[in-house]
Amino acid sequence: MPGTLWQDVRHGARMLMKNPGFSLIAVVSIALGVGANVGMFSVADGLVLRPLPVPRPGDVVTISAITPGIGFRNFRLSYPDYVDLRDQSRSFDGVVAYRFVTTGVVDRSGELAQRKVGMAVSSNLFDAMGVSPALGRAFRADEDEVVGRDLVVILDHGEWTQQFGGDPGIVGRDISIGRKVFTVIGVASAAFTGIAADVHPAFYIPLAAWSSVQNGVPPDERARRDLRGLVVKGRLKSGVTIAQARADVAQIGSSLEEAYPATNRNRGFAVRTEFGARTAQGPGADNAPIVAALMTFALVVLLVACANVAGLLTSRAPVRAREIALRLAIGAGRGRLVRQLVTESLMLAAIGGAAGLALGYGAIALFQQLEFPTDVPLKLTFELDRRAFWVGVAAAAASAILSSLVPAWQAARTDLVSSLKDPAATAPRHARLWGRSALVCGQVALSLVLLTASVSLYRAFQAELGQGPGYRTDGILMMAFDADLARYDETRARQFYRLLKERTLTLPGVRSVTVTSSVPMKTDTVEFARVAPERFELPPGTGNVSVLSARVDEDYFDTMDIPLIRGRAFSPTDTAETPRVVVVNETFAARYWPAQDAIGKHVRLDDQGRALAEVVGIAADAKYTWIGEGPSEFIYLPRTQAFAAESTLLVQSEREPASLAGPLRDVVRAIDPNMPVFGVRTMEDFYFTRAVHTTNLIVGSVSGMGSMG
């Protein structure tokens, strides 16, 4: 067998070298199909598909909350719900919970705090996920029992090497996190980058320590079932199926609904695979449609390539008819001839696959130009790793098999006598024409699908870009601050932002200045408010809805050029001593008070002590998270009544806004030289990166695949 296979390979090589034009076209066709699939898979892998960096990642599932009623979903769980699931479930080897922490970290005494993103995790996270620290130990169960008692931290491996120089004596040292002293008890392994799909945390602290570094946490937060902010995951026991786990948690949800009707009525639990969780919630939910479209287009390109190679091989059938007939006449079996043709296709696929991997690497390099304008340490990387390599191998093998099916079928039906007399009569003429026509029609149809989709996508995005984001993007400079990093209390922080605005307004060329807690389309500043609109009937068991929000001052709408449809903007007279007020957008007003005047209506602010706030203005809709998003409800709160220590200064300038960066830094240094400054860039540059560049890259990829077809 090896000897005959080697003969097939040598014969195939001679035939390919004998027809260099045919071979080149076939190789290029396969290379385009393989390259498109490798490139698109690397994108899909980076955004949605990459498994968690833990042993047996397929056993890790997400346990989410579910609430009947379209539009009212909060996937996260409360701490008491997590404890009940952990203690009562029978399907998991371990149930863990976590939430993100953004705070200041001081490595050494006297140094300025650095803004870091970490995780507050349940004490069993490392054990349940099957990962061990590279240094030190994991958390003990008692370190997650009493709020604020055991302030211990495990450092991420990258944080340890970058900030502490890989010091092996780090265990036992004290560092400051959120102005509290934490003792380092371990360093995570280099391979473990957390159990969140998109964020790489710098440190891990027990959940019981979260309130120590987070301002405004209710003292009874761990006992309240209505405060839902935990992501919960579980590792399935050996032999337990997803269906069994779903039935298990559903039963627990039903029992909690009966036991706690005030908070758990009409709420249950669902078990999702990691892929299912990513596409149902979080960033993956936004990326999934794009990823699915790109992968579909790449598969269509591969099918077109296979059809093209199959057509080329079929067109050569009459030329090779006498060769095949002669080999049959001297005793070669039809199976051996089919194997010979398949071997030739595999050789084409091997060469084309190698070229396709090179093209895929180029496509990955193109997508690596994607910039995510955020200060959050994202794990979204695109690379030609082992998984992408095997996708390329599989695509090349599939192209070889698919493209050789028709020629092999024809070879198996070769008539010996007629072929020796007339090679052109190998198959009936109508059969040859029908087969070629089918291949050509298939190629044209698939190519038209690709081109039509790319044109439609281009027009859709151009229409969105043409409409604009709904706010001003030119002439504005952004500069971010976090007063907590400078160890400010609220009184001092308010004074800092007041002085910053006053002195910025004195700079030459400055038109207006505003301070906001959330910058449109800057996803790491996105905020949500839990509100209950007046006289709107929520689904049973749902006490409020979560909507996008921002805490802004009285100059925000003028600086950002966001029109007020009705009512007024915030005023300096809206203070903590005056009645609460809010401004809502058009979609919010139409959703909760259809065919009514929203001005004068009230919303209950559950994040602000359940205070009632009057709607005093209706702002025009804008884009809040992405240029392609649909209409979203949004609520604005005045900073005088809902303060935010972490905020962004937006300066509208008459001249080039970037030229204000230096003078603004001087202003900050004059107020407090220890105040950290980050996120300095123009709004125009940020908008281009976030909306235009990313959109053009996606559209260009689809158009490129259409052109390949």
pLDDT at 73: 52
58 found inside a domain: no
Looking at the predicted structure, is the pLDDT value of residue 425 above 60?
A: no
547 strand-pairing partners: 529
Distance CA 57, CA 385 (A): 18
Domain housing 350: 2-52+286-463
pLDDT band at residue 9 under the 50/70/90 scheme: low
512 found inside a domain: yes
Ordered DSSP codes for 332-358:
--HHHHHHHHHHHHHHHHHHHHHHHHH
Whether residue 627 sits in one domain with residue 490? yes
Considering its fold, how many domains does the chain have in total?
A: 3
Q: CA-based Rg of the chain, rounded to a whole angstrom?
A: 31
Whether residue 586 sits in one domain with residue 622? yes
Min mean pLDDT across 76-90, 334-348, 541-555, 579-593 is at: 334-348
468 found inside a domain: no
Whether residue 407 sits in one domain with residue 444? yes
pLDDT digit string, tens, across residues 378-393: 666 777 778 887 887 7
Torsional class of 535: left (φ above 0), alpha (ψ -120 to 50), beta (otherwise): left
Ordered DSSP codes for 622-634:
--SS-TT-----E
pLDDT band at residue 3 under the 50/70/90 scheme: low
614 strand-pairing partners: 581, 602
Min mean pLDDT across 180-189, 277-286, 327-336, 343-352 is at: 327-336
pLDDT digit string, tens, across residues 597-628: 999 999 999 888 889 999 999 999 999 988 87
Burial class (CB in 10 A: 0-12, 13-18, 19+), 380: middle
Whether residue 305 sits in one domain with residue 258? no
234 found inside a domain: yes
**Mean pLDDT along residues 126-139:** 95
Whether residue 306 sits in one domain with residue 191? no
CA nearest to 26, candidates 286, 259, 314, 242: 314
Looking at the predicted structure, is the pLDDT value of residue 690 above 70?
A: yes
3-class state of residue 14 by DSSP: helix
Helix axes 20-44, 283-315, angle to 10 degrees: 170
pLDDT at 48: 75
Hey, what amino acid is at 509? Answer: G
Q: How many residues comprise the chain?
A: 709
pLDDT digit string, tens, across residues 277-329: 777 765 555 566 777 777 777 777 777 777 777 776 666 655 555 555 555 55
- Contact between 321 and 424 (Cβ < 8 Å): yes
Whether residue 503 sits in one domain with residue 366? no
The larger pLDDT score, comparing residue 543 to residue 85, is at 85
pLDDT band at residue 500 under the 50/70/90 scheme: very high
Whether residue 395 sits in one domain with residue 324? yes
- Contact between 105 and 113 (Cβ < 8 Å): yes
Q: Is the pTM of this model over 0.75?
A: no
pLDDT digit string, tens, across residues 44-70: 777 777 888 899 999 999 998 887 654
Residue 584 in tokens: 């809502």
Distance CA 352, CA 358 (A): 10
- Please provide the average confidence, as pLDDT, over all residues in the chain: 82
Whether residue 252 sits in one domain with residue 141? yes
In the DSSP assignment, the letter for residue 327 is: H
Residue 573's CB is within 10 A of a number of other CB atoms, namely 9
181 found inside a domain: yes
Burial class (CB in 10 A: 0-12, 13-18, 19+), 186: buried
Whether residue 129 sits in one domain with residue 199? yes
Question: What percentage of residues in the chain have a pLDDT greater than 90?
Answer: 41
Going 261 to 266 to 267 to 270, the CA torsion angle's sign is positive
- Contact between 301 and 36 (Cβ < 8 Å): yes
Distance CA 183, CA 107 (A): 11
Looking at the predicted structure, is the pLDDT value of residue 700 above 80?
A: no
Exposure on the CB side of residue 25, measured as CA atoms within 13 A: 10
Whether residue 232 sits in one domain with residue 364? no
703 found inside a domain: no
3-class state of residue 105 by DSSP: strand
Using the 3D structure, point to which of 206, 236, 266 is the last residue of a domain. Answer: 266
230 strand-pairing partners: 77
**Mean pLDDT along residues 192-220:** 86
Q: Cβ neighbours of residue 64 under 8 Å, at least 6 residues apart?
A: 75, 76, 77, 232, 269, 270, 271, 272, 277, 280, 281
Whether residue 109 sits in one domain with residue 9? no
275 found inside a domain: no
Going 277 to 282 to 284 to 287, the CA torsion angle's sign is positive
Residue 590 in tokens: 């139409």
Hey, what amino acid is at 613? Answer: A
Using the 3D structure, point to which of 208, 234, 266 is the last residue of a domain. Answer: 266
686 found inside a domain: no
Hey, what amino acid is at 370? Answer: L
Whether residue 482 sits in one domain with residue 452? no
CA nearest to 590, candidates 552, 546, 621, 625: 621
pLDDT at 593: 95
**Cα-flanking dihedrals φ and ψ of residue 626, to 5°?**
-160, 155
